[in-house]
Amino acid sequence: MKNAKYSHFSGLIKKTGLAIFASTVVLAASVAQAADIKPAVVYDTAGKNDKSFNEAVYNGIMKFGNDTGIAVTELEPTNEAMMEQSLKKFAQRGYSPVVAVGFTMANAVAAAAAEYPDTQFTIIDGVVDAPNVQNVVFKEQEGSFLVGIMAAMASSSGTVGFVGGMDIPLISRFECGYKQGVAHADSSMNVLAQMTGSTPAAWGNPTKGGEITRSQVENGADVVYAAAGGTGMGVYQTAADMGVLAIGVDSNQNYIQPGTMLTSMYKKVGLAAYESFEAAMNGTWEAGFKVNGVAEDGVGAAMDEYNADLVSADMLAAVEAARAGIIDGSIVVHDYMSDNTCPL
């Protein structure tokens, strides 16, 4: 999986300075006949090693390559200006589907999709209204509701925290869902919440994440939920250092600080990339919208060996009851992005 096809992209390297990662394997004849696709992925500027959103996508495409023997080519833009150029270069060279990772890619995907209408584009966590774009979005408020229940039940201080990344409605959706879950478990709880910043730099500032966490802990929080990309690394480290619990996001981050990670609000973004490529391989890829919530197991609270000692039977039962309630409609988690308000 590591034999890079650098010759195909030498011109792109010279022109854009992008880091290119291409992997390929020798295809079995039956696989080659079944799959007439050239899949590719363009990460956002946090890169595929962010231990969060992008890395979850990376794990999904690696699984696809291992399962099918089909090469997936990757690009890691170093700034937002390179995103559109990267997508267009892939389309120009016949790659399809091309997966774009994150809402910051929306404008770039719209431009590339208009210029290359025969290329299939999938954007994860973004929305682009075009006939050749598949939009995969998630009900983050529902997953955040579940981990909010866990935070409230794990807290002994009566105060929990939330550290967001960039101050945008999407992250307010996480915050609002979390607050609703906390209140569902215990309406007397206090939630301290702060965003890291107002620019994309907010996703990669672990020092700031640690500072916010320290402040929240000093003000009583004993569980802190991070929805902040790479900034979350500072949240988890500071929580561990100060002897409180943390909650991860996007991928299962329970392993990062074993013993102090209560859970992680997972979003199956890696599966979204996998399924886009798989559908194209099978001839069933469709543009439009795919919405993944609790009912679709697209979001949830991660349980594994790393947090088993922190999660009580009562906590598990409460989470399962809430899951069932969301699925059957008896619990409705308000979506901040529906009206830019939070009922709490």
CA R_g for the chain: 20
> Residue range 278-290: average pLDDT?
96
Give yes or no for a contact between 15 and 47, defined as CB atoms under 8 angstroms apart: no
- The alpha carbon of residue 9 and the mean position of all alpha carbons in its chain are separated, in whole angstroms, by 28
Answer yes or no: is pLDDT of 76 > 80. Answer: yes
- Give the separation between CA 215 and CA 264, rounded to whole angstroms: 22
* Tokens linked to 333: 């988690």
- pTM of the model as a whole: 0.84
- The pLDDT tens digits for 240-276 are 999 999 999 998 999 999 999 999 999 999 999 999 9
Q: How far apart are CA 246 and CA 224, in angstroms?
A: 5
Residue-wise pLDDT for 173-218, tens only, equals 999 999 999 999 999 999 999 999 999 889 889 999 999 999 999 9
65 has pLDDT over 60: yes
